[in-house]
């Protein structure tokens, strides 16, 4: 089927979103044009404004309008703890948990030599600057449990330990409510390696 050029352009633009294929993009385009033109105009303005005003925080590299994001500017956060995450999505997940009150550093990727992504591409010299902070005591690695995530964690561990910092890793393993018979072997292996002493309190 051949669409008008303008409609096809809208479909093609919507397909840049993750998990959005041709049919989903068509449904989105139809919805925006048929049922919510005001919402479409608001979306277009919001995207344009975000592209113009949002950059990376100079300290943690999360998206923000100013030089420092609200978390890095918050003096109540614990300067002794630095959580290293791969992506803004990981940062959001940890922050929404409400369980962490330290600082962050976003890698904005992970090491992958096969894809040509090394320390320079991730600008890990910025991380080394953060690791030099005299208030910092512990680096918490929150990288993914993939080959690339493990390699990245290993590299960051070397950088942190070279400065005498304590390095910990997020626990990984059996999810709450999970039954062992349905857990894959890799997850069980991680759970066994990360086991801890059971306490009554």
Identify whether residues 83 and 154 lie together within a single domain. yes
pTM here is 0.81
* Chain position carrying tokens 């003096």: 75
| Residue 175 lies inside a defined structural domain of this protein | no
Alpha-carbon Rg of the chain, whole angstroms?
A: 21
In a domain, 200, yes or no: no
Contact 54/48 with Cβ under 8 angstroms?
no
Over the stretch 36-93, which tens digit does the pLDDT of each residue have?
999 999 999 999 999 999 999 999 999 999 999 999 999 999 999 999 999 999 999 9
Q: Are residues 31 and 85 in the same domain?
A: no
- For the chain, how many structural domains are there in total? 2
* CB distance 84 to 127 below 8 Å: yes
pLDDT tens per residue across span 131-162? 999 999 999 999 888 889 889 999 999 999 99
The CATH number linked to 148 is 3.40.1360.10
Beta bridge partners of 150: none
Does some domain include residue 195?
A: no
On whether both 151 and 83 belong to a single domain, the answer is: yes
Rounded distance between C-alpha atoms, residue 96 and residue 64, angstroms: 17
Tokens for 5?
Answer: 């050029």
Same domain, 81 and 17: no
Does residue 90 sit in the same domain as residue 164? yes
Domain that holds residue 29: 5-53
pLDDT at residue 41, rounded to an integer: 95
């Amino acid at each position: 089927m051949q669409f008008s050029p303008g409609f096809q352009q809208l479909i093609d633009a919507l397909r840049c979103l993750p998990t959005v294929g041709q049919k989903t993009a068509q449904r989105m385009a139809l919805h925006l044009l048929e049922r919510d033109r005001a919402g479409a105009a608001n979306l277009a303005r919001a995207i344009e404004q975000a592209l113009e005003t949002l950059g990376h925080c100079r300290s943690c590299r999360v998206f923000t309008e100013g030089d420092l994001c609200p978390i890095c500017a918050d003096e109540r956060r614990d300067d002794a703890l630095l959580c290293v995450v791969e992506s803004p999505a990981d940062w959001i997940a940890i922050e929404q948990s409400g369980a962490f009150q330290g600082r962050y550093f976003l890698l904005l990727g992970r090491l992958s030599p096969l894809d040509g992504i090394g320390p320079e591409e991730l600008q890990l010299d910025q991380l080394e600057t953060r690791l030099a902070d005299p208030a910092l005591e512990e680096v918490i690695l929150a990288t993914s449990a993939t080959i690339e995530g493990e390699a990245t964690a290993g590299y960051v561990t070397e950088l942190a330990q070279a400065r005498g910092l304590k390095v910990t890793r997020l626990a990984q393993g059996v999810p709450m409510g999970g039954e062992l018979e349905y857990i894959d072997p890799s997850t069980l292996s991680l759970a066994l390696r990360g086991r801890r002493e059971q306490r009554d309190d």
